[in-house]
Structure 1
Amino acid sequence: MRYIFIFLALSSTLYSQVGINTSNPLATLDVNGSLMVRSIPLENDASNAKNSILITNNNEIKQIPLLEIYKEEFKTAVKGSFDSASAISISLLGGSGIVPFDNEDFDINDEFDTTTHKFTAKQDGIYRIYVQVKQNNLHISTNYGVRILKNNTVIQKNSFANLSVALVNITTPVRTVQTLVELNENDEIKFEIESSLVSVATNLVGSSANSFFTIERIR
């Protein structure tokens, strides 16, 4: 009886991997087939989901922090502005001109080009876009504003007249516009100033507190 007990003790150490439907287990428990759990306790604390979830990878069950999944799936987050706080001159030849944002506060998926001043989506999804500009030299005009273009088509804009009374400007120099838009991979976004002041240059305040944009993918 003593020898049987010793044999069983050694067996539990030597055979630490158990296989079901396989004679060559590759893990502590290797199931070659479907898996059914007939009763799963309900987790009442939803905050536990932030810690980790179970996934399958090459038929192995593993855990991964939920934050890592979020980082992988929602990569787009861009904030840009001007590199100089000085006045930024924009030609309005033809009634519009691209806003030449050339500085990035952050761009976690490297999607905005500070040379072409365009954002190119690297993944399909729904994006939240916001842009704000402040005019430095407020011209009197019947129309002045900022707009968002997707693949060279205007999708959102905020434009109205610049007015003055007795040489005092009564129109705010700030223009803002925001939108939600569905983008596919390689779709482009850019920002433009539009105005009735054809062939005239306008100046924007270069300070990042006054002129900037943000783009984020929300799903």
Structure 2
Amino acid sequence: MKKSLILVMLAAASFAHAQIGINTTDPTKTLDVNGELRIRNTPVEGSTPATTLAVDNNGNVVKSNRLSLYDIATTEAANSIRTTLSAGTSTINDLDIGLSQTITIPANYEAVIKVTYSVPMGAEVEEIPLGTYMGIRFLKNGIEASAGSRKFSLPLQGDAAGHSSHIAKMNTLSALYTEILPATSSDRTFTFSLDGYIEQNAEVDDITYVFNRYAQSGANYNWGNANMTVEVYIK
């Protein structure tokens, strides 16, 4: 009786470590399928990110080591933002233009963050003082990440058509910000936001500056709305 029990146990142990073949008598993996694979019911990924699987040239199923898109968030400005500076030298570097996105990177994953934005901006006056700048301060969790900040100078221009006032001087400022982050043992949350920047030189008249879109309607509305998109890739 003892001998029979030992034989049964050895057979079970051998089967537990055997390689199983489907449509093949010579399996090379724990499960070797010589044919197509069909899964009738596939669960939806839950709160924990799922690993991306791939198939190599020999048909082996492997864990992919390539970046996969994990999340994407986008926002568009609903209205133009206007602010007027009185004559003289003045700087504003924290104008809230209403563009912000928060993303979370899951624990134990390397990640690449890609942020793109496009913001129309300019002024309502015909003549702008030399050396006047406009731009965007790019913030990560409330701290400027200079790699994503941009500014440009507004040129002093006359109006060749003879108009005397209120000629829109608009530009569209666009940028790409990327960051590579190593894996950590806990989730990480980041908030990216855009602040309008104005650096005005002395001028005899008040100047109204515009961000996001020149107008909601009319001849100059179609500069488009400001927008920002954040993409997260993990592996």
Q: TM-score when scaled to structure 1?
A: 0.50
